[in-house]
Amino acid sequence: MSFASTNDLAEKTVSFDELGRGLYAYTAEGDPNSGIIVGPDGVVVVDAQATPAMAAEVQGRIADVTDRKVRQIVLTHYHAVRVLGATGYPAHSIICSDVTRDMIVERGQQDMDSEIGRFPRLFRGRDGIPGLTWPTHTFHKKMSLWLGDREAQIIHIGRSHTAGDTVVWLPKEKVLFAGDTVEFGATPYCGDAHFTDWPATIAAIRALGAEKMVPGRGRALMNAAEVNEALDGTEAFTTRLFAIAKSGVARGAGLAEVYAEAMDKMRPEFGHWVIFDHCMPFNVSRAYDEAQGLDHPRIWTAERDVEMWKTLEQARMKSGEIHS
């Protein structure tokens, strides 16, 4: 039995949208996004993509709007699909939160092996990955990059998608690069999530007052109404899923039973979102763990991925719940 994502082989159409002077969104129909800030002396890329070959595609789009080179990379979190392309840029510095670096130390290699196995299409040119991406600079809670007279605030906004989640906020322009704290038309991946904290993280993002946003997945959001729609959708998905898990644990239900219930209750509203079937086994597994009191997410390994997927999907198949 293969992961749902291994059947996702269709190439996605890339969009490169201008959010303001020197601000761009690199998006691809629900694949992981990158943000671009063009400064007077170089370019900042928010999230590096999964491989150096894919980083080259981002730089090709950058070259259409400026001859300045990428000098700094900001990592919104540690996941391989976001960070392993970093060596494909001529960057002088790679920046992430101190918590994100700790997570690379703890589980970076396991995550790399796990993600490549789950979603091979998202790692085009993976033979060119030299190894883990290590930051050159870390920060605690918040720092600013000054790009001429433009301030880009890099904020460890709170636990949600991971413990180290970071956003890049341009207060003057009211543009936010949100990483995977927020998705739009795409299923939040919650395998390393902190469900209890996610609503407070959403509230902190709302308080910034963004009028444009690049979510972790999904198209660029070009006005405050679209930003609020993405925030509302992400919050609704994560809170409802966690409520199902907490209810199941409270009545003594097993993981397979909670998974079947979650798929049944969540699919009508969210099943059309990108990577829904891929994410849900990982999401329910983490929600179930957290509902049982496990605050620190268990590490996903390639072996654990396969064991979990077979257990939950076989249980659903027996119950006649499998959807095409």
pLDDT tens readout for residues 231-268: 999 999 999 999 999 999 999 999 999 999 999 999 99
The domain spans of the chain are 4-319
This prediction has a pTM of: 0.94
How far apart CA 217 and CA 145 sit, in angstroms, is 24
Joined tokens for residue 293: 């009191």
pLDDT band at 324 (very low <50, low <70, confident <90, very high): very low
Q: Which residues pair with residue 176 across a beta bridge?
A: 169, 213
CATH number for region 4-319 = 3.60.15.10
Average pLDDT, stretch 293-318?
Answer: 88
Per-residue pLDDT tens over the stretch 192-233: 999 999 999 999 999 999 999 999 999 999 999 999 999 999
Give which of 52, 74, 54 is closest to 131, Cα–Cα: 52
* Helix boundaries (H) for 42-197: 52-63, 80-83, 98-118
How would DSSP label each residue in 197-261? Answer: THHHHHHHHHHHT-SEEEESSSPPB-SHHHHHHHHHHHHHHHHHHHHHHHHHHHTT--HHHHHHH
Q: Output the pLDDT for position 12.
A: 85
Q: Output the pLDDT for position 91.
A: 83
Q: Is the pLDDT of residue 10 over 80?
A: no
